[in-house]
């Protein structure tokens, strides 16, 4: 494999010294970029982009051409696994993802297969190896998956939800059925992420978008437990390097300690948590990735720069931070504002690494 020319992202995740704070943005290959919208118009649907390795590679590279980012992330969707379970993922314009089949009963859960990436999701590993080849050592490539709990919410509700009525009813009324479903999902995710690592992903992130809607106790039992199982099952070293694992639960500011105890390398932090406080609590165990409110990108470049300065100061001196937004970049953001954000990190962070 080609030597990595920029490894400050991987180093910071392992809390090794770096020259400046590395940065990437969740959903950095996304609708806010006109070149992405053009590619998508050519490819057809969102899933057409995901399923064609050349298109997936093309859009993955787009933000790297514009900005001095320190990592690329596989272009894909968190719902590839439920789709491979034959639930029929589809997208309607202006709405979130939906499934043709929902999982509501014990029989539905028992009928779910454990997904085999090699046979069922080869388009994803093909995209990983294509992108890795195209990157040619420029920056590391991040692989990812949804968390079992987050995937389960879409599978039971049949799409996005506001109150998570059906999935919570299943969780509270039939906890053993829910556990069987989450176990199948965890085994599928382990296989999926390991396949991505073997295909060339140099770090992996687990997106637990909906763990934060759970109670303190239910989070531990129904979300974190299965992320722990995944962390335990992942290939942690490949190509002679450690493959860092990042756990990101949106809304988990109160639960950072238990997340850090899973043995993951880093935590994704949303903007409701003060980064200095998070570092004081778990910074001796894990790196921290985050955490600017994506809505700050609607503000002026001057204001964006102030916010970056404030987050850098909050984290303080030394390694262990990966700069990012606290959630995916919004589609209406001006690409020039994203540029101001990234350049502010590049320019303002070196003083914290002297």
Interacting residue ranges for a second copy, rule: CB under 8 A: 163-165, 168-169, 172-173, 212, 214-219, 251, 253-254, 271-274, 277, 293-296, 298-300, 303, 307, 310, 326, 330, 332
Q: Which of 177, 179, 168, 161 is nearest to 221 (CA)?
A: 179
Q: Kindly tell me which of 233 and 276 has the beta carbon lying closer to a second copy.
A: 276
Q: Kindly tell me which of 50 and 333 has the beta carbon lying closer to a second copy.
A: 333
- Concatenate the DSSP letters of all residues of 37-55 into one string: HHHHHHH-SHHHHHH-HHH
Rg of the chain taking only CA atoms, in angstroms:
19
Q: How far is the CB of 161 from a second copy (least distance, A)?
A: 11
Q: Kindly tell me which of 251 and 316 has the beta carbon lying closer to a second copy.
A: 251
Q: How far is the CB of 25 from a second copy (least distance, A)?
A: 15
Q: Kindly tell me which of 126 and 303 has the beta carbon lying closer to a second copy.
A: 303
CB 292 within 8 Å of CB 271: yes
Q: Which residues make Cβ contacts (< 8 Å) with residue 71, sequence separation at least 6?
A: 9, 22, 24, 139, 140, 141, 142, 203
Determine whether 217 is exposed, middle or buried from the number of CB atoms within 10 Å of its CB (0-12, 13-18, 19+).
exposed
Q: Kindly tell me which of 195 and 247 has the beta carbon lying closer to a second copy.
A: 247
Q: Kindly tell me which of 25 and 190 has the beta carbon lying closer to a second copy.
A: 25
Determine whether 345 is exposed, middle or buried from the number of CB atoms within 10 Å of its CB (0-12, 13-18, 19+).
buried
Q: Which of 245, 242, 268 is nearest to 255 (CA)?
A: 268
Q: Which of 1, 63, 56 is nearest to 29 (CA)?
A: 63
Residues that are catalytic:
27, 31, 40, 77, 154
Q: What letter does residue 23 receive in the DSSP assignment?
A: B
Tokens in use for 244?
A: 């860092």
Q: How far is the CB of 248 from a second copy (least distance, A)?
A: 16
Tokens in use for 68?
A: 């001095």
Give the C-alpha separation, 285 to 199, whole Å: 28
Q: How far is the CB of 337 from a second copy (least distance, A)?
A: 11
Tokens in use for 137?
A: 């050592």
Q: What letter does residue 98 receive in the DSSP assignment?
A: E
């Amino acid at each position: 494999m080609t030597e990595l020319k920029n490894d400050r992202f991987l180093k910071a995740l392992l809390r090794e010294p770096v020259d400046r704070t590395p940065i990437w943005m969740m959903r950095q290959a996304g609708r806010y970029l006109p070149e992405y919208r053009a590619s998508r118009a050519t490819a057809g649907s969102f899933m057409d982009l995901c399923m064609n390795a050349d298109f997936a590679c093309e859009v993955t590279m787009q933000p790297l051409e514009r900005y001095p980012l320190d990592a690329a992330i596989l272009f894909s969707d968190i719902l590839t696994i439920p789709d491979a379970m034959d639930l029929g993922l589809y997208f309607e314009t202006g709405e979130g993802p939906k499934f043709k089949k929902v999982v509501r009963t014990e029989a539905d859960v028992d009928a779910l297969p454990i997904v085999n990436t090699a046979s069922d999701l080869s388009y994803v590993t093909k995209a990983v190896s294509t992108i890795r080849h195209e990157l040619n050592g420029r920056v590391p490539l991040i692989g990812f998956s949804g968390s079992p709990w987050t995937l389960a919410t879409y599978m039971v509700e049949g799409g996005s939800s506001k109150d998570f009525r059906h999935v919570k009813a299943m969780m509270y009324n039939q906890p053993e059925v829910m556990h069987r479903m989450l176990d199948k999902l965890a085994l599928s995710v382990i296989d999926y992420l390991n396949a991505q690592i073997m295909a060339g992903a140099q770090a992996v992130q687990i997106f637990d978008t909906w763990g934060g809607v759970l109670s303190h106790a239910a989070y531990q039992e129904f979300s974190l437990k299965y992320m722990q199982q995944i962390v335990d099952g992942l290939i942690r070293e490949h190509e002679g390097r450690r493959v860092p694992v990042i756990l990101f639960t949106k809304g988990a500011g109160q639960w950072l300690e238990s997340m850090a105890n899973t043995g993951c390398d880093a935590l994704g932090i949303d903007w409701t948590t003060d980064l200095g406080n998070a570092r004081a609590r778990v910074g001796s165990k894990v790196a921290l990735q985050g955490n600017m409110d994506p809505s700050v990108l609607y503000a002026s470049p001057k204001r964006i720069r102030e916010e970056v300065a404030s987050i850098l100061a909050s984290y303080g001196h030394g390694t262990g931070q990966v700069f990012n937004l606290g959630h995916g970049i919004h589609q209406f953001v001006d690409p020039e504002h994203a540029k101001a954000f990234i350049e502010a990190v590049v320019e303002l962070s070196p003083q914290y690494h002297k």
